[in-house]
Homo-oligomer: A and B are copies of this chain.
Amino acid sequence: MKNITGTMEKKTVEAEELGNHIGENVQIHGSIYKIRTMSDFAFVLLRTKRNVVQCIYSAEFSGFSLSEITEESCVIVTAHVKAEERSKTGYDLQMIKIETLSWPEEPSPVVINNKRVDASMETLLNFRPLTLRNERERAIFKLQEGITCGIREFLKQERFTEVHTPKIVYAGAEGGANIFCLNYFGKEAYLAQSPQFYKQMMVGVYERVFEIAPVFRAEKHDTSRHLNEYTSVDFEMGYIDSFEDIMQMETMMLRHVMVYLKEQYENEIRLLNAKLPVIDEIPAIKFKEAKEMISLDYRRPVKDFDDFEPEEERLLYELVKQKTGSEFVFVTHYPSRKRPFYAKDSGENQEETLSFDLLFRGLEITTGGQRIHKYKEQIAKMEYRGMNAELFDTYLMMHKYGMPPHGGLGLGLERFTGKLLEQDNVRLSTLFPRDIHRLIP
């Protein structure tokens, strides 16, 4: 028997700590990202956890031959941190020795160490395990991590409890055909399209809950906006005064995220040239009024009275930005017939729901709203829709035995990330996208 002491000797320094070692020799590990040979020396770029570090190779002080090293090999570099005023970092990293831990079998089939990966989206995604090693590509998903960290920090502060709800479910919250089926020990089961039912149940338990987890949609859309699996940020809160509270909470949350990113992800923001939106007030406009406004301002006939066309979302963005400066807009009071059975109808107009979408830079990134919390009201709406309430008895349990007024929302993490970076395809902000054609890698 031996003992694991729970201690780890650090033999190498972190890239971010190099400045504390000026005048010293240090060891640092990473992958050789790029070798740039100059006339009588070379820049050797080392990819570390979060930063790419520039080392200087020179026959003068480097006790090895440049031909000994190769891109994408994993190494431990011994280097001298030499004070250098002309350098942005304040030092030069002079390579003294190198130990190679592993070599690639072959050079990468895609060039990954330029500023951008110069390849089609197909290639970019087919070679994901390699293309993500590109400094810019990986910054996208580091920033995405920042978004979730900022969200968690905010929601925790607002006393939300984080939950883990099942993804294999007995019925789809949204219903319909857009659902993946699986055989669950002889029973038919589905992959959850959202944690809707469960997060509502948990409002009865903790009042405020959230979950950041995968959701699955079997939609056959093949567009730049759709994924068949994505990461959904869901929150649900009880004791609301009106569905406006949910929009207020989201506005506060997004504002918090922007501050968090600026503080903690400066590097990635710079690398990606991300223009973070200023979130002051967010305009809210009724769906019907938005439709009319777009139609009038752009002299477009309304074709679909129940939903936006993607083009209309873009036009609305332009209009609102022009009028108010905001890159976000809440669209409220969607028609009842387009919203799920648990959506609460407006007291003023039964054909409208107390619901909203949030559009960001012309794309819907959030759907939310108030839910029905009274048992009889919920049963009545299900009956009106011709649904068999008995199939939903475990869902309706909470309504029957007491629920506060409540509501919540779901935010698509990949869509939000993509729009933050002004990308035109949601696949670009998805680590390993799943679409109607893509299941690999």
CB proximity to B under 8 Å, residues A237-255: 238-239, 244-245, 247-249, 251-252, 255
* A167 and B204 contacting across the interface, CB-CB below 8 Å: no
* B402 and A49 contacting across the interface, CB-CB below 8 Å: no
* A198 and B432 contacting across the interface, CB-CB below 8 Å: yes
CB proximity to B under 8 Å, residues A274-297: 279-285, 289
Closest approach, in angstroms, between the C-beta of A195 and any C-beta of chain B? 10
* A138 and B205 contacting across the interface, CB-CB below 8 Å: yes
Chain B residues near A324 (CB-CB < 8 A): 1
CB proximity to B under 8 Å, residues A154-197: 156, 159, 161-170, 180-185, 187, 189, 191, 197
* A404 and B168 contacting across the interface, CB-CB below 8 Å: no
Closest approach, in angstroms, between the C-beta of A241 and any C-beta of chain B? 8
Chain B residues near A181 (CB-CB < 8 A): 182-183
* A206 and B138 contacting across the interface, CB-CB below 8 Å: yes
* B185 and A220 contacting across the interface, CB-CB below 8 Å: yes
Chain B residues near A132 (CB-CB < 8 A): 201-202, 204-205
**Interface residue? A61 (CB, 8 A):** no
Closest approach, in angstroms, between the C-beta of A190 and any C-beta of chain B? 10
Chain B residues near A231 (CB-CB < 8 A): 164
* A105 and B376 contacting across the interface, CB-CB below 8 Å: yes
* A397 and B206 contacting across the interface, CB-CB below 8 Å: no
Residues 203-244 of A, flagged 1 when their CB comes within 8 A of B and 0 if not, give 011111000011010101000000011010000001100001
* B402 and A282 contacting across the interface, CB-CB below 8 Å: no
**What interface size band does chain A fall in?**
35 or more
Interchain CA distance A133-B216 in the complex, whole Å:
29
Most buried by B among A149, A405, A432: A432
* A73 and B402 contacting across the interface, CB-CB below 8 Å: yes
Query: Given A101-B404, A159-B49, A208-B49, A439–B2 Cβ distance below 8 Å?
Result: no
Chain B residues near A251 (CB-CB < 8 A): 4-6
Query: Given A159-B49, A373-B102, A4–B330 Cβ distance below 8 Å?
Result: yes
Residues 426-441 of A, flagged 1 when their CB comes within 8 A of B and 0 if not, give 0000011010110111
* A74 and B168 contacting across the interface, CB-CB below 8 Å: no
Nearest-CB residue, chain B, relative to A163: B431
Closest approach, in angstroms, between the C-beta of A49 and any C-beta of chain B? 5
Residues 396-424 of A, flagged 1 when their CB comes within 8 A of B and 0 if not, give 01111111110000000100000000000
Interchain CA distance A165-B285 in the complex, whole Å:
36
**Interface residue? A148 (CB, 8 A):** yes
* B395 and A170 contacting across the interface, CB-CB below 8 Å: no
Query: Given A8-B248, A165-B431, A183-B181, A395–B441 Cβ distance below 8 Å?
Result: yes
* A216 and B168 contacting across the interface, CB-CB below 8 Å: yes
**Interface residue? A7 (CB, 8 A):** yes
* A402 and B31 contacting across the interface, CB-CB below 8 Å: yes
Nearest-CB residue, chain B, relative to A103: B402
Chain B residues near A197 (CB-CB < 8 A): 441
Query: Given A431-B163, A432-B165, A204–B4 Cβ distance below 8 Å?
Result: no
Chain B residues near A91 (CB-CB < 8 A): none
Nearest-CB residue, chain B, relative to A245: B8
- Interface residue stretch chosen among A123-131, A304-312, A347-355, A359-367: A123-131
Closest approach, in angstroms, between the C-beta of A415 and any C-beta of chain B? 13
**Interface residue? A43 (CB, 8 A):** no
Residues 314-330 of A, flagged 1 when their CB comes within 8 A of B and 0 if not, give 00000000011000001
**Interface residue? A374 (CB, 8 A):** yes
Can you list 11 A-B pairs with a CB-CB distance of less than 8 A?
A8-B248, A73-B402, A102-B404, A106-B401, A129-B201, A132-B202, A138-B205, A142-B161, A152-B152, A167-B167, A167-B229
